[in-house]
Amino acid sequence: MPNKINYTPNTESDIKIMLKEIGVKSVDDLLEDIPKELLCKPINIPDGMSEMELRHSLKSLSDKNSNLNKYTSYLGAGAYEHFIPSVVDHLSSRGEFYTCYTPYQPEVSQGTLQGIYEFQSMMCELLAMDVANASMYDGASSLAEAAVLALRYKQKEKVIVSKTVHPEYREVLSTYLQGLDVKLIELEMDNGITSVTDLESKIDKNTACVLIQTPNFFGCLEDTEELAEITHKNEALFVACVNPMALGIIKPPGEYNADIAVGDIQGLGNYVYYGGPHAGFFATSKELMRKMPGRLAGATTDSKGRRAFVLTLQAREQHIRRGKATSNICTNQQLLALRTCIYLSTLGKAGIIEVGELNVYKSHYTITKLCELEWIEPLFNKPFFNEFAIKISGDCKIKDINKRLFEAGIIGGLDISSLYPDTQNAMLLCVTETKTKKDIDKLVLNISNII
């Protein structure tokens, strides 16, 4: 045992004493096995601050960020700004919700489990599906998990996905499948939606599933009934990736016989934040219930006949042998799912219809006013929800327009040219219920002055 050492912490002499005790001359000697090119250069850490000084410093740094309190945003493409009633923040920030984790012990997790169960029930009603799980990481991983489920269930080797599905979702899907002996085939689009003709030419009896998004990346509504019919004729599963906010006014997946419905709940009571965290949903027919990834909360009765909640059909790799597990997906996005549960409870059936209608009215007003300008026209002529693409003629580039808009306190749309090279100088804009007529008119006026 080394001799007891009396020292004052956090001093240079302290470091020397510790190095001497372990038998090395310098800190560099401790790192000699690490290649030099991997070592970081010394970090210039400033002197310590008082609490007041630190608050001022952090505040000055945070003020450099732009945020939706200062700017009016028309940027969507997967993260959407919606009005969130204050009750959602107040209830979800309670300590018993805010700090809870996985409900492994149902006897002490009844509140958490009931919250999950209610979330599942609401999502089933919204989607018109039989069973929904607790939550997934995000919409992209939900879509990828749906493809994996279909491959295992159908024992086939082909996955078909439309190019109108969000590009980042397709990247995640490709990453999920790259270690499997699977053919991933993309469908071409026709005027902003999936080409039915291309699906008919590419699908066959070796297809496990067809993945469609509606409203799709461009905000357009897909012809889901015809796509689902073609898919089922070829004995494949039809997977619908949907924006749940639109389901108050458009037909839900269960009504056009989707086998699996997936998507993201960010827009249902969750903020945009800095692009995350997100949470996904995953719902199926009863036939596929035992193949679902993630957690599933169920209602039962305890030994005294009282209503109780438990985790059921636990096919995750943490609960059974990895080789038999349906998925390796683990951590539950319970807090965000709870916020969605509170949000949907606050809106009610009439409220979600009203919010959906506002999104449609305001986005259609916006594109109408923009297309009155000489240099702007719709990129596609298809029905859409709250997101749409416009094409801008002339020499003014999207990045220059967005820069000028930003100077006017407006966050413009997404330049989609890099994602879809065939679309030159096109912008994807999103208009939700948060935008007023004054906001929209300001956007149109600023764009007209720029162009």
Residue 226 CB: number of other CB atoms within 10 A? 14
Spell out the residues 6+ positions from residue 141 whose beta carbon is closer than 8 angstroms to its own: 172, 176, 280, 329
CA angle 230/236/241 to nearest 5° reads: 80
Beta strand spans in 98-223 (E): 131-132, 158-162, 183-187, 189-190, 193-194, 207-214
DSSP string, 190-203: ETTEE-HHHHHHH-
Interatomic CA distance for residues 451 and 447, integer angstroms: 6
Q: What is the pLDDT of residue 254?
A: 97
Count of beta carbons in the 10 Å neighbourhood of residue 375: 18
Please enumerate in sequence order all residues whose Cβ is within 8 A of that of 221, keeping only pairs 6 or more positions apart, or say none: 193, 214, 215, 250, 382, 383, 384, 385
- The angle formed by the CA atoms of residues 287, 291 and 296, to the nearest 5 degrees, is 100
Q: Read off the DSSP letter of residue 48.
A: P
Phi then psi dihedrals of residue 72, to 5 deg:
-90, 120
Query: Counting beta carbons within 10 angstroms of the beta carbon of residue 307, is it exposed (0 to 12), middle (13 to 18) or buried (19 or more)?
Result: exposed
**Under 8 Å CB-to-CB from 196, ≥6 apart: which residues?**
190, 223, 226, 227, 230
Burial of 418 (C-beta count, 10 Å sphere; 0-12/13-18/19+): exposed
Which domains does the chain show, CATH number per domain?
72-82+349-450 (3.90.1150.10), 86-344 (3.40.640.10)
* CA nearest neighbour of 218 among 59, 442, 389, 83: 389
- Tracing tokens 């943490």 back to the chain, one arrives at 318
Phi, psi of 318 (to 5 degrees): -75, -15
Predicted pLDDT of residue 1: 47
- So what's the pLDDT on residue 315? 55
- Half-sphere exposure in the Cβ direction for 419 (13 Å, CA): 19
Rounded to whole angstroms, how far apart are CA atoms 264 and 275?
Answer: 12
Strands 387-392 and 376-378: antiparallel
The pLDDT, as a whole number, for residue 322 is 63
- Please tell me the distance from the alpha carbon of residue 447 to that of residue 412, in angstroms, as a whole number: 10
pLDDT value at position 5? 45
| Residue-level pLDDT at 249 | 96
Query: What is the chain's Cα-based Rg?
Result: 26
Question: Which of 249, 311, 244, 327 is CA-nearest to residue 280?
Answer: 244
pLDDT at res. 25: 86
Predicted TM-score (pTM) of this structure: 0.86
> Tens of pLDDT along the chain (451 residues)?
444 444 445 566 788 888 888 888 888 888 888 998 888 888 888 888 999 999 999 999 988 888 898 999 999 999 999 999 999 999 999 888 877 777 777 878 888 899 999 999 999 999 999 999 987 999 999 999 999 999 999 999 999 999 999 999 999 999 999 989 999 999 999 999 999 999 999 999 999 999 999 999 999 999 999 999 999 999 999 999 999 999 999 999 999 999 999 999 999 999 998 877 899 999 999 999 988 888 888 999 988 999 999 888 775 555 556 666 677 676 678 899 999 999 999 999 999 999 999 999 999 999 999 999 999 999 999 999 999 999 999 888 999 999 999 999 999 999 999 899 989 899 999 999 999 999 999 999 999 998 7
pLDDT of 418 reads: 86
Say if residues 237 and 154 touch (Cβ distance below 8 Å): yes
Other beta carbons within 10 angstroms of residue 129's beta carbon come to: 24
Token digits for 166?
């969000």
Q: How many CA atoms lie within 13 A of 445 on its CB side?
A: 8
Tokens representing 321 are 């042998």
How big, in percent rounded to 5, are the helix, strand and coil portions of the chain? 40, 15, 40
Report pLDDT for 159: 98
Q: Are the C-beta atoms of 191 and 168 separated by less than 8 Å?
A: no
The three-class DSSP label of residue 345 is: helix
